[in-house]
Structure 1
């Protein structure tokens, strides 16, 4: 009830009207003990028990009046006073109250009565109000009535819970204030009575105040909102109701104050919240909706309309009237959603395919909540919708990429192993069934149930080196297509990486059938592959392992197929080879090389040889290239082209490279200390070394440890190294160059982007690959390439050095084309450090 009658201002406006104060409370004391009529009302103002005099006064029968409420017999202008005093009775602030009110008779006439109301609380029945009244319409005004009315008016003024005061309209001085005003504003009564209205107003509001006072008229004024200042300096917002009266023979205004600061702040906060909600609703990046149980949208924001392809929220609501059949591709999804909501009230991330207005199909994710009534019945649904079509597509692509090769779109190693494992499970069941029938038969004698084929392309590196990686990639794509054409129902093809492919064949009938299949693949490679309009003839070597004779699990079968492929290549390439244990034994030597590298480092089996580079202008050695050699205790000298790739494969190349660098730097510094001329030492660096983020720091540390100045170290890199990560490598090379070291490109001319990136590389020397020098000058094409590289290097202010110089005619050709330096067997093979020392001593005596 308090909420219903929270606006108290009109109460006091009515009570304090001058024309009604004449009658108010004059005879209250007389009525208290002499009641003319009585009626009871409930807390909700329903009239209950009535006296005969009450019926006579209003002209209703007892049955008629018992159907009425108090508000139907009370004059509308007097209701607010009644409601206010009723609230005070209920709150316990007063024990009883008096009202000078007007009743409306059944015939429409108005009678003036003095009403006394008490709250009756009886444990045997519901609380109710007992109202006593007396008709005072024709009473004469007596002095006693006036005094009683004055006393009651003063009581109402002094005990009013809201601040009230009287001020002189002419001087604006306070003439009277109630206790509520003193408490609320913080001024004492004496302070109030020494102040004017201007003292409690902000200075900027004074002009408006004076203008409002100049327009004061007789009677009530509508409530207005003002700012007031409290004693502590804080400002409050108040609703002011006023009534003119004569007080102490002065024209005054009686003021009723209702502090609405919190109310205004709450309303403002509510407006801001509503604005924020509206903004969120209108501008949300997710669709927001309310929908009925029968499948209609009740509310939809613009984003929801956009998601479903409608021009506006109204367009969506008016046209999409059956969500289940019009929206969902599978109408059952709507039923599934509703059933879930019945079970758990809210559903999150409910994904469905839905139709847009134009018929396109998209994926959406819904978060939906069911709103229930007090009885637990679903009133409607509300929630959000997000278009997840793009993420669905991306997720599918990611899943595809996770299990497929990005270049050829074939299954990758991960998917191959997974499918092979499942195929082996099926084959295992067949094997057990076969063993149960045959009993005590050797595994090797059982016909093959599954085969694994390992394919490695022949001469693929040559294509990469001569035509570039782009051409190599194109060739791999064509190979994948060719192999796919050879597949049939029980085969599974995958690219394992590089130029390696694997196939497994399930449901085999015989060894001959897998041999025929391998031969079919080899025959398909007899037709040339066309790359960049060039016909390329390449072959493939195939290794085959069989289940169960060659292995019982995927790892063993894949390993043995790899071993068989290795033997197929040894046979001359473009062959297939079935695995047998003899092949495994022959591969042991290669495995011994791989596994022996780590021990070789520990046992100091590696050595550094040096091959001089001759400056053609001076005829002197100005640089030596450091080359690693390995003397295996059982295998003897192991060629670098065997142990270097193995070191890279086993992650030992960085460790080996650092050992070579430290040894070469230490030897160079030793030559300097022994009085030999200061020459540079060139050291090869691999791709994996350049992938180390602290390479520059490690090189400088080794130079510091060996006491060699950076200017005497030359780093040899290959074009393929630069192509691995151009930006990172170029940045690192520039840093090394800035520290004083030189950089040269080894095997120049064999890469696929030489001319494009050479100008970007911070290098000082290019080494012409021995493959071009070998047939120079008799081979016109090689001679042309060699001379072109020399000319290009000079145009870029680079030094050109030729590798693999073994004959005098090669030297003369290079000299005639102004090649700067040469390196090769014509001058010296790579030699141990002590022999290199003799070469330097002989030259610089």
Structure 2
């Protein structure tokens, strides 16, 4: 037998500890509630046991607050055996309190189980403790059971409502308030149970002492009220938030619908327009006043478009959204989004029409400009090759290049050249109809895909096109003579389309080489020449590094002094596989692939170095004459180029002559004239090469700061004693002398040529009769000896 006698002050502390322990345990259980269902079974059991024992300890503490308690060892053992009741009640509370929502039956059943377990626990403990003084009051005991059940239900309801709260600050606030309230309520239940089992407790005892029934009831009733009100307040706040969110969503929906920049429609299952915004009315060309009350989809769409939209609309009624594009009869383009919409208990459709007409046109324009030439409206190079990738065999490729077009550009300017290109394109469109597809792939270069098999029709169309240029073209108030050079090639089954383009291009190249203004078909035997051209193009960039280039020199004789006073440097290429390559073959190749500047830099540098060594051993130095191509001069300043070469080699400027063609001088006349003047200031002489082959007039020659001219060999080839060519050459030489220009006659191949030129007073001659191009040592020996022997052709 154990007697516990607790002083009054300690009894109050024990009671306070009991309440505090109960509140803390409630706080921790509320913390674990949501995650409880996700814990492992072992962790769940551990939490239930620990906090279940904590709840159970509250009851012995409250019993000790009775000041005098007598317990036997058996009683204590039986009291300990009630711990599972606490754990069981806690397990049910946590398992059900971890859910967001439960049914009414689950709620009532859970409340009943929890309440019954707590009631049983407290009744058992007090009956064991006060077995000698029991005086059961059935009415209070029944009331106590109902009160405990209500408190259990209120606790469970609080947890469920708290689980639905979304605001973190609200959760923290009610978490703490709930823990305090539930802790006080659970810790006060033993007082009510004690009142129903203890002798002398009357319902009429209204004192507020710890041992009064009124005080116990008051605490439980207040706790119950708080537990009922807290969830109601919490739920009311949640309802207010939900209502506010609903109103906000409705306002946002209304704003999005009626203020949306795109056309927005709502359509019911009978395909009638339920509502639409202002943009939608404008799309339908309707106003609010003229809009029919039962306007249907089929009333605003053409039959074909209606069928398409109806199929997507059916998907929306089945709950499936979709996106598609729509062209209308008035050439408008829309991006349509259809979404399911709940309307008056049935599924309707929510349609958004985004007008993409202007962006679509802009995109089409960009697409057009990407594949078309903005000047002529024809396909450009990219568009041509895109179409070529899709072409099927058989087909033909036609390449057209207009002869001397660059010269027209140089004389009249690029604006006039653009007008001329437009006219040429117009004529091509007129002459080459389907199945021709025309493209402008370069400055004055055009390409066509002929998708037919009729070669005769192709050739006839090309011949008629040539005939179209038998008369001059009138463009921009000027008459202009133009001739096309045409090459074409037929597709070959095993060849790629790009290869056929190269064949046609080579045929056009041959057309130019054969005299221009003609048609040339690519033939199988040309393939070897084309391959040779490709080999040259591939090998030329490496020719300098591999020492495959060398110079030869052709003497220029002064007929008065009978002395070789100058030499012209000419380049040769000894290809390791193809052998000796003519400059007439590889120089155009160098121009085509952009290697001409490197080539002429090597020629001028090497010639200056070699002739400088000659002059160091000669009593009287010889002049060095070199040619500069038009393509090279377009890429650089000839004054700076020559100056750099002279500085690098130390060659004297007064012994240097630069030869330029008429085309070169006309191409960049202003820039070239300035460069010539600077060269003359340095002491470098400048000659007009191949005079007579271009369009030079006497007035034009007088404007140029030249030192001399070189008559083209064509004059001498046709010149005979006293014929018209003789008279022309004689007149030219006389005029040039009067202008203070030196004259060099090229192409002197016979003794008659020499005598006639001497008779005309031409003092400088060059040609095979004097000497052919010679290797530098042979030429040096001839210059030193003054003897003019026949030399090997190189």
TM-score by length of 2: 0.47
Decide which structure has greater strand share: 1
Decide which structure has greater helix share: 2
**Larger Rg, first or second structure (1 or 2):** 2
TM-score by length of 1: 0.44
